[in-house]
Amino acid sequence: MKPNASNLEVFYNTFREISKAVHSSTDLKEVLDLAVCKATEALGAKGAILRILNLDTNELELSAAYNLSDAYLAKGPVSQKNLITDLYRQSRVIVIEDIHHDPRIHYPQEVASEGIRMVLDTSLSFRNHIAGILRIYFAEARPVSDEERDFLVSLADQCALAIEKNRLIEAQKNKFDLLALQTEKLSALGRMAAGIAHEINNPLAGILLFSSNLFKKVPDEGPLKEGLGIIMRETQRCKFIIQELLEFARDKEPRKTPASITTILQKSLNILENEFRLRHIRIEKDLTPDLPDGCVDANQLEQVFVNLLLNAAQAIDEGGTITIRSRANPAHRELAVDIIDTGCGIPAENLGKIFEPFFSTKKNGSGLGLAVSFGIVKNHQGRLEVSSRPGQGSQFTVALPSARNPA
């Protein structure tokens, strides 16, 4: 049958309108309501409904309807088994003329009472996944042209695209909501940590002062001297943990100026020189000569390097190698420093947790060193990344903007 030019124009204009709505609107209901309305008008039908497949219940739930009674629409969701399986296996469009006996018509009496004599079903599919079904109702049975079938398939694909787009938006929104909640928790934790740290710091200073005085006065031999030594050592450890808590909670804004990354690295290595010597750790340096300056807070960055180098030394324990490599990436206008150790490595299940506050696998670790370092690098508009395999060591990479690109 020769296609009617006026019908083709109607189909084209309708498809164009629906496609524009799909790409410009974030309101899924608005798009689907428009689709069922325009499809009904373009095909000269009595009405239409669109059902979306609920991935949890495996049922087709009503999402949009046009020109059908509330009594019929109130029937609720239907099983998708007979509807979608047949559509997907046989054809994208199925014509149902026997509305009283066809198993795909769930409520034949109600359908007949609506004045419906023929139904067209079209599956909504996106990347070989069924998203739902578009059903068009006709008051009289009539032939369905190839152009009408093509129009319905194209329209259904646009509706499926809108549904998929909405699902992606919802998934991202849930991720952002979770991130916002986590951020609020960390903020509250920081405030609480600062308050607790200030309350505990003063008593600890008193304990350390009096135990130090007693330590000097008691005889060198005997359990009292040993006990006081333990008290002083553990008090110092508590003060160190509290200091880390305060640093974590404070989240100081970096005072960034152009500074030599190589010089900061060398200062950090000098601080830990005795530590490396005692553990028999070899330091290998692969530093880019004439490395451009970074736009950094030198004191804060030194804290990051010291912490990463100390962690590397503790992962090796004794008799290994730490490699320090610096490089420039002119394309991204950034500098990078790699700290690579031959230590015990990090299990895969812990890699996503090591930058979280208070997560530590060390016996006496506070779990704040890497969290503080991550915060400092982030405040520099940089990145702190890790790669590791158990038994094969770890690599931490600090990437920072160069002085020519102060972010």
- Residues 383, 240, 377: CA angle, nearest 5 degrees: 10
Among 400, 393, 401, CA closest to 323: 393
- Cα four-point dihedral sign 165, 166, 168, 173: positive
Whether residues 159 and 181 share a domain: the answer is no
pLDDT at 137 (0 to 100):
95
The secondary structure of residue 106, as a DSSP letter, is S
- Cα four-point dihedral sign 363, 364, 370, 375: positive
| Residue 370 contacts residue 389 (beta carbons within 8 Å) | no
Give the CATH number for residue 319: 3.30.565.10
pLDDT at 33 (0 to 100):
94
Give a yes or no: residue 304 inside a domain: yes
The secondary structure of residue 402, as a DSSP letter, is B
Give the CATH number for residue 112: 3.30.450.40
Whether residues 239 and 284 share a domain: the answer is no
Whether residues 273 and 394 share a domain: the answer is yes
Whether residues 14 and 152 share a domain: the answer is yes
Q: Using CA atoms, how far apart are residues 110 and 108, in angstroms rounded to an integer?
A: 5
Distances (CA, A) of 113 to 68, 69, 99, 196, 338: 11, 10, 11, 72, 75
Whether residues 57 and 139 share a domain: the answer is yes
Give a yes or no: residue 406 inside a domain: no
Boundary of a domain, candidates 214, 233, 250: 250
Non-local CB neighbours of 244 within 8 Å, separated by 6+ positions: 366, 368, 369, 372
Whether residues 320 and 379 share a domain: the answer is yes
- Residues 347, 240, 349: CA angle, nearest 5 degrees: 10
Give a yes or no: residue 407 inside a domain: no
Q: Which residues sit opposite 327 in a β-bridge?
A: 336
pLDDT at 4 (0 to 100):
59
Whether residues 32 and 156 share a domain: the answer is yes
Give a yes or no: residue 292 inside a domain: yes
Give a yes or no: residue 371 inside a domain: yes
Give the number of domains in the chain: 3
Whether residues 59 and 17 share a domain: the answer is yes
Whether residues 76 and 117 share a domain: the answer is yes
Whether the model clears a pTM of 0.85, i.e. scores above it, the answer is no
Whether residues 273 and 222 share a domain: the answer is no
Give a yes or no: residue 387 inside a domain: yes
Amino acid 113 reads: S
**Range(s) of the domain holding residue 188:** 174-250
Whether residues 186 and 143 share a domain: the answer is no
- Residues 383, 335, 285: CA angle, nearest 5 degrees: 105
Boundary of a domain, candidates 202, 225, 250: 250
Non-local CB neighbours of 2 within 8 Å, separated by 6+ positions: none
Give the CATH number for residue 227: 1.10.287
Q: Using CA atoms, how far apart are residues 225 and 212, in angstroms rounded to an integer?
A: 10
Q: Using CA atoms, how far apart are residues 396 and 264, in angstroms rounded to an integer?
A: 17
pLDDT at 182 (0 to 100):
77
pLDDT at 2 (0 to 100):
43
Terminal-residue alpha carbon distance, the chain:
65
Split the chain (407 residues) into runs of 10 and give each run's mean pLDDT: 68 92 90 94 94 85 91 76 56 85 85 92 81 92 92 92 90 85 72 72 84 85 82 82 65 79 91 87 90 87 91 87 90 87 89 78 68 87 91 92 64
Amino acid 82 reads: N
Q: Using CA atoms, how far apart are residues 226 and 231, in angstroms rounded to an integer?
A: 9
200 exposure class (CB count in 10 Å sphere: 0-12, 13-18, 19+)? middle
Give a yes or no: residue 295 inside a domain: yes
pLDDT at 178 (0 to 100):
83
Among 377, 399, 402, 379, CA closest to 294: 402
Boundary of a domain, candidates 151, 168, 185: 168
Q: Using CA atoms, how far apart are residues 380 and 256, in angstroms rounded to an integer?
A: 8
List phi, psi (to 5°) of 255.
-95, 90
Whether residues 264 and 238 share a domain: the answer is no
| Residue 159 contacts residue 34 (beta carbons within 8 Å) | no
Give 275-298 as a DSSP string: HHHHTT-EEEEEPPTTPPPEEE-H
Give a yes or no: residue 190 inside a domain: yes
- Residues 16, 17, 21: CA angle, nearest 5 degrees: 115
Pairing verdict, β 257-259 and 294-296? antiparallel
Give 184-245 as a DSSP string: HHHHHHHHHHHHHHHHHHHHHHHHHHHHHHHHHHS-SSSHHHHHHHHHHHHHHHHHHHHHHH
